[in-house]
């Protein structure tokens, strides 16, 4: 079987690299014995391989494989880099990521919604806005961000005009109102973000307490009395470390008296939550399981020389 020079030239790169089969080698060898032109070409290619070691001939049958391999490697690298980018954002800039997510999900909303994660009451106010987003985990945590040109007085007047039974509105500051609805408390406050300027949030916080049966639990706490209340509610209602306040210790006592949600004692600048107001003293349910195992919770208030309260949970 005789092969043309064109076929032999296609086989030469693999022949020189010793990648061709025994039958191909035999055919190439027979051709080279009778074709001076191809023989000279082989000698030149062998000389180039010696001068440039490590530079292999471009083998046409391997081109498609190489392209496919490079494509797979490129896609894999892109996916890994994307995951690393998202991980870095989540670890080092969770607030920025949240704002970025909300901006991409902003849309027309027909109501503003918040949940008090202690009483589990979801409070819905029928205020519609062209730009807004409800952040909702479906269970304990719901808050609404929205864009509006209204003032805090406008919003308070609109809520009062609804005449919702059991709902009262209290002015906290020039940009914040406290909404009481039964035993639940909510804040509607002004913030400064890239696309929204209001937040409607439940007022309960998550305090870290060391208990055998509960690593943490949500508690109702008067965030509107704290200097950094906006920071706390803006970070997923997650309380880390101590809070400070310009209010008085008695203001916090009055909050728990007014809510009537807990049994508590208040002595020597310490408020101790001993259980829910409607729970049994022995803290066992009908099946005999221990409940409310995170009580008692102590809230300790210390005052510095400037009259600033530092609030610590234990």
pLDDT for 27 beyond 80: yes
pLDDT of residue 230: 65
Ordered DSSP codes for 232-272: HHHTTTB--S-EEESS-HHHHHHHHHHH--EEEEEETTEEE
78 CB neighbour count, 10 Å cutoff: 10
Q: Which of 53-67, 132-146, 158-172, 238-252 has the lowest mean pLDDT?
A: 53-67
Render pLDDT for 209-254 as a digit per residue (tens, 0 to 9): 554 444 456 788 888 888 876 666 655 556 666 788 999 999 999 9
Element (H, E) at 208: strand 204-208
> What is the topology classification, in CATH, of domain 204-314?
TATA-Binding Protein (3.30.310)
When comparing pLDDT for 9 and 152, which is higher?
152
Contact in structure between 112 and 127 (CB atoms under 8 Å):
yes
Span 42-51, average pLDDT:
74
C-alpha dist (Å) from residue 208 to 58, 98, 168: 65, 23, 30
Sequence-ordered strand ranges (E) for 65-155: 107-109, 112-116, 121-125, 129-136, 142-146
Report the range out of 5-14, 65-74, 285-294 with the highest average pLDDT: 5-14
Q: Which residue has the higher pLDDT, 62 or 302?
A: 302
The end-to-end CA distance of the chain, in Å, is 92
* 253-307 pLDDT tens trace: 999 998 888 889 999 899 999 888 876 555 555 554 445 566 788 899 999 998 8
CA distance 230 to 224: 8
pLDDT digits (tens, 9 = 90+) for 74-129: 787 778 877 776 666 555 544 454 555 555 566 899 999 999 888 889 999 999 99
pLDDT digits (tens, 9 = 90+) for 244-255: 899 999 999 999
Residues 295 and 262: their CA atoms lie apart, in Å, by 10
| pTM score | 0.61
Number of CB atoms found within 10 A of residue 122's CB: 14
pLDDT of residue 57: 45
């Amino acid at each position: 079987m005789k092969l043309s020079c064109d076929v032999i030239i296609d086989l030469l790169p693999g022949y020189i690299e010793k990648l061709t089969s025994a039958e191909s080698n035999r055919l190439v060898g027979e051709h080279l014995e009778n074709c001076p032109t191809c023989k000279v070409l082989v000698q030149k290619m062998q000389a180039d391989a010696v001068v440039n070691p490590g530079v292999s001939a471009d083998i046409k049958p391997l081109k498609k494989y190489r392209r496919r391999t490079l494509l797979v490697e490129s896609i894999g690298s892109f996916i890994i880099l994307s995951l690393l980018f998202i991980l870095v954002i989540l670890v080092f800039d969770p607030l920025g990521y949240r704002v970025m997510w909300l901006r991409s999900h902003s849309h027309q909303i027909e109501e503003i919604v918040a949940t008090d994660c202690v009483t589990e009451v979801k409070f819905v106010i029928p205020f519609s806005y062209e730009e807004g987003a409800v952040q909702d985990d479906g269970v304990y945590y719901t808050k609404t961000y929205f864009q509006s040109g209204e003032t805090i007085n406008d919003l308070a007047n609109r809520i009062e005009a609804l005449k919702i039974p059991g709902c009262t509105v209290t002015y906290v500051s020039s940009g914040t109102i406290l909404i009481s609805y039964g035993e639940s408390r909510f804040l509607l406050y002004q913030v400064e973000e890239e696309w929204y300027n209001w937040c409607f949030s439940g007022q309960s916080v998550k305090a870290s307490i060391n208990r055998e049966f509960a690593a943490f639990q949500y508690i109702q706490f008067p965030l509107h009395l704290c200097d950094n209340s906006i920071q706390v509610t803006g970070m997923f209602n997650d309380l880390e470390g101590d809070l400070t306040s310009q209010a008085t210790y008695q203001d916090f006592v009055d909050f728990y008296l007014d809510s009537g949600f807990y049994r508590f004692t208040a002595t020597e600048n310490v408020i101790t939550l001993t259980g829910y107001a409607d729970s049994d003293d022995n803290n066992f349910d009908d099946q005999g399981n221990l409940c409310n195992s995170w009580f008692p919770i102590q809230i300790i208030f210390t005052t510095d020389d400037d009259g600033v309260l530092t609030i610590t949970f234990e």
